[in-house]
Structure 1
Amino acid sequence: MRDKTATLCRDCSRTAERDAAKAPCPRCGRPGYLREDTGWCGHCSRPRQTKQPPRTCRECGRVRRHAGLGLCSACWQRHPDRPFVRAESLIAELAEPPDWLRDFTADLAAKYCVSRACTMITSLGRLFLDEQPNHPQALLERSRRSGRSMGSLARALETFFTGHGMAMATDQAERLAAGRRQRRIDAVPETLRPTVDAFADFMMRSRERARRAGTRPRSDGTIEAALAIMRDLARFLAGERGKQDWALTDVHDVEAFLAGSPKARNRRLVVLGQFFRFARSRKIVLVDPSHGLTSRGPNGFTGATLTLDQQRALFRRWTTGPAVHPHEALLGMLALLHGASSREVKMLQTTDLDPHARTTRLGDRPHPVPLDPASWAVLERCLAHREAQRTDNPHVMVTRQTKSGRGPASTAYVSHILDACGFPPRTIRCTRLIDLVNTMDPKLVAAAFGMDPEATMISRRPRRRGPFAGAVKTRHFMVTEAAERQGHDPRNS
């Protein structure tokens, strides 16, 4: 509302009066209300906090402005007491600080660098002040990120809380497995996708029933491999055969699909049989097109092995190569001389070692495995590498991702350790197993390695003799050369 004779309303009139009272500040040039005592605007008239003069840093000795504790900014960023100072400041801000915060700060300071530990404490402080429940389980759930990685703070909290019995572990592994299954299902053509989705649910329900019954349930890797095979078959049917319905699949389509990867025929045929039996029970298909098909593969071992010259080169690489990573040398030596699998090596812990007897526990083997001098020297190198990381992880093989927790190295990391030498762990291990199986009783080998007798029988008769010519002498050569290098009598090794 405004008067009849006025040109502006009340609010605009007041704004115009305030703007008319302003004048340009002689110091900053911006319009403002000038103070009588200074002649400047209010911002320029307020006294400024003077900076402290530069002083000599008690850590580096350079003359700089101090950030705290008589240290310059660079030295203060690296000071080991900085996480504890940040934690004390957080405790002072909280009305009811938890009793475990100081212990958690000490755990972070021992596992992470100073800046990362302070960043995580700051992030934890935001969780404390968000007016949500602050008990350990609630903090752990809120600290998780929504992506494929739950974040370093959530991993640190999970390790600390589960280690002290304060919270349950998260379902991060199950969440990642569900994401991998969903990505494989989404890659199936749209017309064939609902049946594959139902097959995935069927396998998950079967796994839950197997767990309750105490039998062997399918692992996440088994289910994901089955879904990948069905994804490939669906793409093959839709792209090359022009079929958009599972009911149109015949035996010729299945044979053509299996012919595309002969080495994976047996595994693919097993999954296809499971899928089409499921589809037939749901009335999706009338007949099982995979029924009556066989793998048609040889019964004996058909994989690749190493020659004697290749074994010599690998042995010298892992025992004398200064640039070889300790993890590569450990996995290679244990696979070459002791037939250790990748899982046995990545699950190896420091408590499994006996320094006095120089033995170690590997996987499900019933007896400790004695290590020769060369293998023990490689193991000591790996332990020294582990000590340099200042970790509480009990495993011998510790990576940058696992040094702050207590879990083993990832399967992806272990599968690529031996990429530099040019041979996969399976080939090196098979060389040792075939040497033992063809010179000893396979049942004794299976009992010593904690394996089923059927697992060693396939290596009894190799397909061709050439690659195995030097495998029989592998152990004698390796032990003799290691003993001579250590200054021992080879007959006593």
Structure 2
Amino acid sequence: MPTDHSAQLARGRRQRRIDAVPEPLRPAVTGFADSLLRARERARRAGTRPRSDQTIEAALATMRDLGLFLNAERGKNDWATVHVDDVKAFLAALPRARKRRLTVLRQFFRFARTHRTVLVDPTTGLAGKDPKGFRGRTLTLDQQRSVFRRWTTDPAVHPHESLVGILALLHGASSRETRFLRCSDIEHRRQAVWLGNRPNPVPLDPASWAVLTRCLAHRDRQSTANPHVIVTKGTKAGHAQASTAYLSHVLDDCGYSPRMIRSTRLVDLVNTLDPKLVAAAFGLDPQTALIYLADYVDAGRLPNP
């Protein structure tokens, strides 16, 4: 192959991203790509860190997505008409990529303002980090009832799945708390368990205690000396806890992740009770509990005027 084969492939990838930009917005993106390449050449001559092909292609992909968003969602075909609200809506589409995308947009609009393509930079004043808050998914009431019946009435469900699910759904137990749960942490007389760093034992309701008893019976059938409640084929010969990967996939059959189920419980408790009380009961930092606090009030809980 020729020595510049990789450069030719990179040139083709860049061109495909530029060609995907709507035609009225394409010239500015082409000029932006040329400026990135010129900056890379200057960095190479100066001996500093030049941008890689992957970095430039990611920047052009961001501009392609922005151009398509402006054309399809906002009906705009001129960079000069882009408003800060357009940029906010574009960044909100992928919250996890906000910081990376905003960095690229700042570079582009700085270039566009230098070349008189725009008069005002719409990214001015935007923060790279989103305000902290819970954005995860939660279960509806019907979904909660469905998994509760599955874990408490279906004998075909594996005991480990039932235990992890019930502790997360009713008691907000994390996968780590369940993974490190030992037989010595169970108070049979009081029907309570010690979970993680919680200051007090967690009393179990009859359904949770029945699920825990079923899991202990499954452990006894393995004839193991492992002190943990959840014992797998790989840990029954030793004393180590189950792996993180095992706990992360133990609920695959029900279709929901442990984090999603636990978040459902925490969101409900924090928005119903005092977040400080929830943090104290769960052994959490108060700031951690506030993340789950919603920024709106349910209309059904307001007094009737």
**With structure 2 as the length reference, what TM-score do the two structures score?**
0.60
Aligned twin of 1:443: 276
Q: Which amino acid aligns with 1:264?
A: R
1:425 Cα offset (Å): 0.6
**Residue aligned with 1:438, SS:** helix
Q: Give the 5 Å matches for 1:422-437.
A: 422-437=255-270
1:264 Cα offset (Å): 2.9
Q: What is the distance in 2 between the residues matched to 1:382 and 1:301? A: 32
Q: Which amino acid aligns with 1:262?
A: L
Q: What is the distance in 2 between the residues matched to 1:258 and 1:337? A: 44
1:265 Cα offset (Å): 3.5
Q: Give the 5 Å matches for 1:88-237.
A: none
Q: Does 2:241 correspond to 1:408?
A: yes
**Residue aligned with 1:389, SS:** coil
Aligned twin of 2:229: 396
**Structure 1 runs, 4 residues or longer, greater than 6 Å off:** 240-246, 266-269, 463-466
> RMSD across aligned C-alpha pairs, in angstroms?
3.5
**Residue aligned with 1:426, SS:** helix
Q: Which amino acid aligns with 2:49?
A: A
Q: What is the distance in 2 between the residues matched to 1:241 and 1:440? A: 56
| Contact 2:172/2:265, CA 8 A, preserved across alignment | yes
Per the alignment, do residues 443 and 464 of structure 1 end up closer, same or farther by CA in structure 2, a change over 3 Å counting? closer
| Contact 1:327/1:382, CA 8 A, preserved across alignment | yes
Q: Which amino acid aligns with 2:59?
A: A
1:302 Cα offset (Å): 1.4
Q: What is the distance in 1 between the residues matched to 2:160 and 2:60? A: 39
Q: Give the 5 Å matches for 1:192-341.
A: 247-249=49-51, 256=59, 262-265=94-97, 294-341=127-174
Aligned twin of 1:15: none
**Residue aligned with 2:59, SS:** helix
Q: What is the distance in 2 between the residues matched to 1:334 and 1:318? A: 11
Q: Which amino acid aligns with 2:249?
A: H
**With structure 1 as the length reference, what TM-score do the two structures score?**
0.38
CA deviations on 1:142-167 (whole Å, 9 max, x unpaired) are xxxxxxxxxxxxxxxxxxxxxxxxxx
1:465 Cα offset (Å): 6.6
Instruction: Work out which of the residue numbers 178, 200, 213 in structure 2 matches 1:367.
Output: 200
Which runs of no fewer than 5 residues in structure 1 stay unpaired?
Answer: 1-188, 190-239, 270-291, 470-493
Per the alignment, do residues 258 and 370 of structure 1 end up closer, same or farther by CA in structure 2, a change over 3 Å counting? farther
1:451 Cα offset (Å): 0.7
Per the alignment, do residues 454 and 391 of structure 1 end up closer, same or farther by CA in structure 2, a change over 3 Å counting? same
Aligned twin of 1:350: 183
1:317 Cα offset (Å): 0.2
**Residue aligned with 1:306, SS:** coil
Q: Tell me how many residue pairs correspond in the alignment.
A: 206
Identity over the aligned pairs, expressed in percent? 55
Q: Give the 5 Å matches for 1:6-21.
A: none
Larger radius of gyration: 1
Higher normalized helix content (fraction of residues): 2
